[in-house]
Amino acid sequence: MQITSKYIPQKVNFSAVFSDFKQLTKVGLSLSVVFSSLAGYLLAVEEIKISILILLAIGGYLMVGASNAFNQIIEKDTDALMKRTMNRPLPTGRMHVSMAMVIAVSFTILGLAILYSINPKSALFGAISIFLYTSVYTPLKSITPLAVFVGAIPGAIPFMLGWVAATNDFSIEPGMLFLIQFFWQFPHFWAIAWLQYDEYKKAGFNLMPMGQKNKKAVVQIIIYTVCLIIVSVIPVLKLTGNFYIYPVTAIIVALLGGVMLFYAVKLYKNQTNIEARQLMLSSVLYITLIQVIYVVDKFYIKILNYVPIAIGI
C-alpha cells in the first residue's frame, strides 16, 4: 500500500516577497533620502571618504526604511481604506504584523548602529527622526493638520544629516540645509494632500492647511514656497559659514523655485488636480536639482581644472 503525505509544500515566490519588502520600506522614498544625505555630506567635505559615504547610505536607508515600516504597522487599518495604499502587504495580509515589526526593529537597531559608527551626533539625529515620524507625526495625522509641521522635522533631517556625518557638528551650515528641506516639505506634501484629499478623508486624515481644500490653503502653499526660495538662496550672502554659493548658482536656484511658484499660483487660480500634480512634480524636481547644483557649485573649480586634464589638453 502506498502512503502519501497530505502536506504539499508551498513554493515561496521570492519576487513577491521582495516586492512586499520594497513596499513596506518604501524603497523609492528611502533612496531619495539617501541621495539627500550624500549631497549634504559632499557639501561638508574637502576630501571624500568612500567608507563614510557607504556607511551613510546604508545607515540612512535603514533609518528611513524603519520609519516607513513602523508607519505602515500603525496605519494598517487606515491603509486598507485608501486605493493608493490598500494593496500594501499589511492590509492585504500578505505579510504578518509580527514580520513587519521584526523588519522595523532590526532596521532601527542596525541603522542607528551604523550611523553611530560614523559619529554619535549622526545616530542622535537618526533616532530623533525615527521617533518623531513614528511616535508623533503618524498618530497626529488623524487628529490635526498640524501633523504636517511635525512631519516636516524628520523629513528635513536627511539633508543636514550628511553634513553632521562629515563633521560630527551641528552649526549654522547643517541648520541651513535643514531649513531648506523643512520649508520644501510644505508645498510638496500639501500638493499630495490636495490630490489625495478624498482618499485621506475616507481614512480620517485631513492634512490640508486648516483642514480646507480651497484658496486659503493655496495661499499657505505660496507663502511656504516663497520662504523656500529665500532660504535656498541665502547662502549667496556668505552668512552661513562654510556653506555658500556663487551668484550664478543663486540665480539658477531662484529660477527653479520660480517654476514651483508658477504652479502654486496656477493652483490658486484654477484649483484643479492638474495644477496640484504639476506642483508636486516640480517640487520633486526642485529638491533633487538644487542638491546637485549645490554640490557642483562647491566642486566646480576642481571640475574645471580636471576637465582639461581628462581630455588631454
Whether residues 275 and 297 fall in one domain: yes
Per-residue pLDDT tens digits for 83-95: 888 899 999 989 9
Whether residues 195 and 152 fall in one domain: no
Check residue 310 and give its pLDDT.
46
Burial (CB count within 10 angstroms: exposed 0-12, middle 13-18, buried 19+), residue 171:
middle
Whether residues 53 and 158 fall in one domain: yes
Residue 259 has pLDDT above 80, yes or no: yes
- 3-state class of 285 per DSSP? helix
Burial (CB count within 10 angstroms: exposed 0-12, middle 13-18, buried 19+), residue 228:
buried
- Domain count for the chain: 2
**Separation of alpha carbons 235 and 251, rounded Å:** 12
Could you tell me the residue range of the domain that residue 233 belongs to? 171-313
Whether residues 151 and 195 fall in one domain: no
Position 6 in a domain: no
Whether residues 179 and 313 fall in one domain: yes
Per-residue pLDDT tens digits for 170-181: 999 999 999 999
Whether residues 211 and 156 fall in one domain: no
Position 10 in a domain: no
**Separation of alpha carbons 86 and 75, rounded Å:** 11
Whether residues 205 and 308 fall in one domain: yes
- 3-state class of 210 per DSSP? helix
User: What is the pLDDT averaged over residues 11-31?
Assistant: 82
Domain containing 24 — which CATH number?
1.10.357.140
Whether residues 71 and 164 fall in one domain: yes
For residue 237, give the DSSP letter. G
Residue 52 has pLDDT above 60, yes or no: yes
Position 231 in a domain: yes
Whether residues 151 and 85 fall in one domain: yes
Check residue 1 and give its pLDDT.
44
Cα dihedral sign, 284-289-295-297: negative
Per-residue pLDDT tens digits for 66-117: 999 999 999 999 988 888 888 999 999 899 999 999 999 999 999 999 999 9
Residue 5 has pLDDT above 60, yes or no: no
Whether residues 63 and 191 fall in one domain: no
Check residue 303 and give its pLDDT.
61
> Is pTM, for the whole model, over 0.75?
yes
Burial (CB count within 10 angstroms: exposed 0-12, middle 13-18, buried 19+), residue 46:
exposed
